[in-house]
Amino acid sequence: MHAMTEVKAIKTAAEAGLAETYAAARSRLPGGKAVAAQRQAAFEVFVRDGLPHRRVEDWKYTDLRALMREARPLAPPPDAAAKAQAKTAGAMLGDVETRRLVFVDGAFVPELSDTAALENGLTVGSLAQALADGDAALSGELGKRAPATDVAVALNTALMGDGAAIRIAPGATIERPLHLVFMASGKPAASFVRSLVAVGERARAMLIESHEGPPGCGYQVNAALELAVGEGAHVDHVRIIGEGAEALHVSTLAAAIGGKARFNTFSFVIGGAVVRNQIFLDFDGDETVAGIRGATLLKARQHADTTLVVRHSGRGCQSREVFKSVLDDEAHGVFQGRIIVKPHAQQTDARMMTRALLLSDRAEADNKPELEIFADDVQCGHGATAGAIDEALKFYLMARGIPNAEAEALLIQAFLGEALDGLEHAALREALMHRVANWLKTRG
C-alpha cells in the first residue's frame, strides 16, 4: 500500500518540547498583534524545518538536533536570590568602566542596571517593556536584519522574552562602553533574548555583551542582537561567551552597516558545552572599514561553532577577518566563514584568516572558509590552518629555563595575540588576556 506520509520536521523530544513551550507561552509573550504574527510566522519556520541538523549545510558541524536532547522550559522571572548572584556578573571585564545593563535568566533587572545620567543621545530600555508599550518604531525594526530562515533566529523571534533596546542619536559619542550583562542563575531553564541596537549616523559607541552562568546546570540560552550602524558611525562590538560548562548557547549577531563607517566585532568564546556563535554582517554602504575577529578556547568535550557570513554590497569596503581557536582535550572547534562580494561591490578588500591550535590529539578543528565573489575588481583572500604547538619553538623556550607548561602558555598567548591585538580598547584586551591566562592555568 502506498500511503501519503506527511514529512514532519518535529521529531525529537527537544523539538516537541519547543513546540509545547511556544503553545503554552504565546499568549503571554510581550508585544501586540503585529509582533504576535511575527512570532507565529517564525514558529512556522521552525515547524517546517525542525532543529538544524548535519544535512543542513550551514549547520553541518553543529547538529543541534542531536546535540540538544531536550527543550528546557522558559525561565521564570528572576527571584531575589538570582538577582543577588548577578551583582558580580560581568566581572570578567576587570576594571573596564562600563554602563551595565543586567539581564538575569533573560529578563531585564532595572535595579542592577545603570540607567541614570545617560549621555546625550543615548536611550536604553528593556525590549519587553518597549513591546508591551507598543513601541511601533521598535517593533518595525524587529527582524529586519536577522535572517528569518535561520531556525535559531526563528526560535528566538517566536519565543523572545526580553532584551535590550538601545538607540544612539546621530552624532552622539557615548564614551562609556555599554555592557549587556546576561547571566543565567543556574535553573535548568531556557531564555530567549533579543536586543535591538540602532546607532545613528556619525555616532560612536562600544557595545559589550557577556554571557555567563554557573557550571553543573544544563540551561539554554538563545540570544540575538540586531544592530544597525549608521553612515559614518564608529561601533565596536564585543561578545564574550563564558557560559557554564553544561550550558547550550546559541548567539546571533545580525548587523547592517552603513557607508564610511568603522565597525569592529570580536567574539571571545570560552564557556558552554555547546556553543553556536553566528555573525551575519551586511556592508550596505561604501568605504566602510571593518575588523571581524575572534578567539575561542575550548577544553574537555566543549563544542563551539562560529559561523560568519559577511556580505559586501557597497563599494570600496575593507574587512579583515581573523579567528583563532585553541582546542584542548576532546574539544571540537568549528569556524565557517563566508565572504560574499556582490556584483556592485567593486574594490572590496577582504581577507579572512582562521587558525586552530590543537593541544591534544583528540581535539578536532573544522575550518571552512569560503569566498563568493561576483565583482571583478576586488582583493579577497582566505587562509586556514590547524596544527599543534611548534616543538622547536617550545624547545627554544625550555632551553632558557622556562618549564613546559609556561612555555606552552607563552606560545598559546602569542597565537591568540594576533586576534586579541585587534581589540583597540586596552583595558578590555588586558581583561581578556587575563581570562586566557587563567584558562591556561587550569590546563592539566
Partner 1 sequence: MPLLEINNLHAGIEGKDILRGLTLAVNAGEVHAIMGPNGSGKSTLAYVLAGKDGYAPTAGEVLFDGRNIFDLAPDERAAAGLFLAFQYPLEIPGVATMTFLRTALNAQRKKRGQAELSTPDFLKAVRGLAKTLGIDQEMLRRPVNVGFSGGEKKRNEILQMALLEPKLAVLDETDSGLDIDALKIVADGVNRLRERTRSFIVITHYQRLLNYIVPDVVHVLSKGRIVKTGGKELALELEARGYAEYQEEAAVA
- Three-state secondary-structure class, residue 281: strand
Q: Estimate the crossing angle of helix 391-398 against helix 404-420, to 10 degrees.
A: 120
**Cα–Cα distance between 160 and 168 in angstroms, integer?**
23
- The number of residues in the chain equals 444
444 near partner 1, rule: CB under 8 A: no
Write down the least CB distance from residue 412 to partner 1, Å. 10
Q: Which is nearer to partner 1, 169 or 433 (CB)?
A: 433
Cell numbers representing residue 237 in the block: 562590538
Looking at the Cβ atoms of 133 and 421, the one nearer to partner 1 is 421
Q: What are the residue ranges of helices labelled H in 300-425?
A: 391-398, 404-420
Nearer of residues 335 and 415 to partner 1, judged by Cβ: 415
Kindly state the smallest distance separating residue 433's Cβ from partner 1, in Å. 12
- Closer Cβ to partner 1, 348 or 354, answer by number: 354
Q: How many residues bind partner 1 (CB under 8 A)?
A: 22
In the complex, the smallest distance separating the C-beta of residue 398 from partner 1, rounded to whole angstroms, is 4
Site stretch for partner 1 (CB under 8 A), options 55-63, 258-266, 352-360, 389-397: 389-397
- Give whichever of 92 and 420 is closer to partner 1, judged by the CB atom: 420
Per-position x/- string for 279-298, each x denoting binding to partner 1 as judged by CB under 8 A, each - no binding? --------------------
Residue matched to cell numbers 575550548:
298
All 3 cell numbers of residue 97? 568602566
Closest contact distance (angstroms) between CB of 295 and partner 1 is: 13
Pairing mode of beta strands 248-257, 220-229: parallel
31: Cα separation from own chain's centroid: 24
Of the candidates 1, 391, 442, 444, which one interacts with partner 1 according to CB under 8 A?
A: 391
For partner 1, give the closer residue by CB, 116 or 399. 399
Please report the beta strands in 97-173, taking only residues with DSSP state E, as ranges in sequence order: 99-104, 107-108, 122-126, 164-168
Closest CA to 428 of 179, 118, 149, 81: 179
How far apart are CB 163 and partner 1 at their closest, in Å? Answer: 37
Rounded to the nearest angstrom, the gap between the alpha carbon of residue 275 and the centroid of all alpha carbons in its chain is 9
Q: How far is the CB of 418 from partner 1 (least distance, A)?
A: 7
Reference 199, options 169, 164, 165, 163; nearest CA is 169
Task: From 139, 130, 126, select the one nearest 39 (Cα to Cα).
Answer: 139
The least distance separating partner 1 from the CB of residue 388, rounded to whole angstroms, comes to 13
C-beta of 3 vs 399, nearer to partner 1: 399
Q: Which is nearer to partner 1, 379 or 404 (CB)?
A: 404
Select from 284, 295, 210, 312 the least CA-distant residue to 251: 210
The nearest distance, CB 331 to partner 1, in angstroms, is 22
What are residue 333's DSSP bridge partners?
304, 365
Please report, as residue ranges, which positions from 337 to 376 form the binding site for partner 1 (by CB under 8 A): none
Nearer to partner 1 by Cβ, of 80 and 399: the residue is 399
Instruction: List binders of partner 1 among 395-424 (CB under 8 A).
Output: 395-404, 406-407, 410-411, 413-415, 417-418
> What is the x/- site pattern for partner 1, positions 26-55, by CB under 8 A?
------------------------------
Question: What type of residue is 315?
Answer: R
For residue 431 the three cell numbers come to: 581583561
Buried b (16+ CB within 10 A) or exposed e, 207-239: bbbbbbbbeebbbbbbbbbbbbbbbbbbbbbbb
The only residue of 136, 393, 424, 437 in contact with partner 1, by rule CB under 8 A: 393
Query: Please, what is the minimum distance in Å from the beta carbon of residue 30 to partner 1?
Result: 47
Residues 107-166 that bind partner 1 (CB under 8 A): none
User: How far does Cα 42 stand from its chain's mean position?
Assistant: 20
Between CA 284 and CA 371 the distance in angstroms is 18
CB of 397 to partner 1, least distance (A): 7
**118 vs 414, beta carbon nearer partner 1:** 414
Residues that bind partner 1 (CB under 8 A): 391-393, 395-404, 406-407, 410-411, 413-415, 417-418
